[in-house]
Amino acid sequence: MSATVPATAFARIGQLASQRPVHEAFGWLHLHEPQIMSWQRELVLVAAPPFGEGPRAEWLCAKFRELGLEDVALDGIGNAIGVYRGEQSGGECVLLSAHIDTVFPSDTLIDPQLNGTRLSAPGACDNGAGVVAMLAIAAALRHAEIRPACDLLFVGNVGEEGEGNLRGMRHFYQHAPWRERVAAHVVLDGAGHEVAVTHGLGSRRYLVTVNGPGGHSWTDAGRVNPVVVLSRAIARLGDLALPAKPRTTLNVGTIEGGTSVNAIPEQVTARFDARSTDAEQLIRLEVEIHRAVEDAVMEANAGAKREHALRFSIEMIGDRPAGTLTEHAAVFENLRAVDRHLGIRTETRIASTDANIPLSLGVPALSLGAGGNGGGIHTRNEWYDARGRVLGLRRILLLLLACAS
């Protein structure tokens, strides 16, 4: 990547990494891979389907307490929170989070198989890897008796995957007493040690419904047909010119309606998915969707009897706000310096993650992998391989300490 590493940031990381307690923390991470993997195996056995993360959150709270985090508790929506105290406690804090929910329904058979460094189980990588990385970092800090300048906040949050619609992070930034104090937020999601998500891809989803009187295809012919009318709106939206930069997309994912080939339908629905790296484009698309549907319905109603008029509704069924981390944010400069120190080539990405919420509020945030490798994400064949995990963990630890100093 092109962005430079300021000399001061690079020097600071070198100085940080040469401190004896940091070495001791690295040593703990290096020697305790079996411990970390045993946590990961335990974790995948506690099911955490969307909206059913309670047992896993309780499990995580117990682990946070064992590792000496303070003020451990569940918040109002079920996020597990614990504090690692810094020297100046109560001021700014650095937040480390990992989502605890999975995409798997509660009746999914979970029979984890551990072969050498490889754990096969639904959720082993996404986000077993991220959650146990938090535990490893907390354990290493405690073992080395590191006292960062400010508090480190550990959060295992609910509701990251699809239907969860980022509700765990949303709740934290709306209600947590901590929310005003977050100076930097590092999200851990899945495996890897090179990628950093620094652009939050925003998306909004809508369910559009058009209702009419319906009728018989022959005897009621001429009545307004909701399928035809919604199709006109969709055709108009399909002709919209969308910018390549900021990249913006609009998809019609489903269209459903009607009951029979010889009936005028009473109802039709369609689901839209709008995405952009720019929040304003999402607002523009929302206006376009309303305009296209409203115009098509009004046009159809102009020639219809009043009692046969069509009605429509547009419901937002998903909302992930967009946001971007600026190159000069301290957390980004620190990451580039840490990566240079560790010989890692930083790859930045655009994606939709928990970091969307802080980024949309102007809180510096990014999402990292928790080291190692993984695959089969969101399938029953998901796996995680811990080889190389320690490099990812060192990266996270140095970044946190750099941000907290």
> Which residues of the chain form contacts with Zn ion (CB under 5 A)?
126-127, 189
Question: Any idea what DSSP says for residue 163?
Answer: G
Cβ distance to Zn ion smaller for residue 126 or 385: 126
Contact 139, 69 (CB under 8 A): no
Contact 285, 248 (CB under 8 A): yes
CA torsion sign for 134, 366, 404, 153 is: negative
Using CA atoms, how far residue 86 sits from 142, 148, 151, 245, 401, in Å, is: 12, 5, 4, 42, 11
Min dist CB 68 to Zn ion, Å, is 27
378: left (phi over 0), alpha (psi -120 to 50) or beta: left
Cβ distance to Zn ion smaller for residue 236 or 378: 378
Cβ distance to Zn ion smaller for residue 189 or 333: 189
User: What's the gap between Cα 380 and its chain centre?
Assistant: 20
Min dist CB 80 to Zn ion, Å, is 16
Cβ distance to Zn ion smaller for residue 127 or 277: 127
Select the residue whose beta carbon is closest to Zn ion and give its number.
126
CB neighbourhood size of 249 (10 A): 13
Cβ distance to Zn ion smaller for residue 209 or 373: 373
Cβ distance to Zn ion smaller for residue 265 or 374: 374
Min dist CB 337 to Zn ion, Å, is 26
Min dist CB 192 to Zn ion, Å, is 12
Phi then psi for residue 207, to 5 deg, are -110, 115
Min dist CB 126 to Zn ion, Å, is 4
Phi then psi for residue 164, to 5 deg, are -65, -25
Can you list the positions of beta strands (E) in 145-302? 150-157, 182-188, 195-200, 202-211, 215-216, 248-257, 263-264, 267-276
Min dist CB 100 to Zn ion, Å, is 10
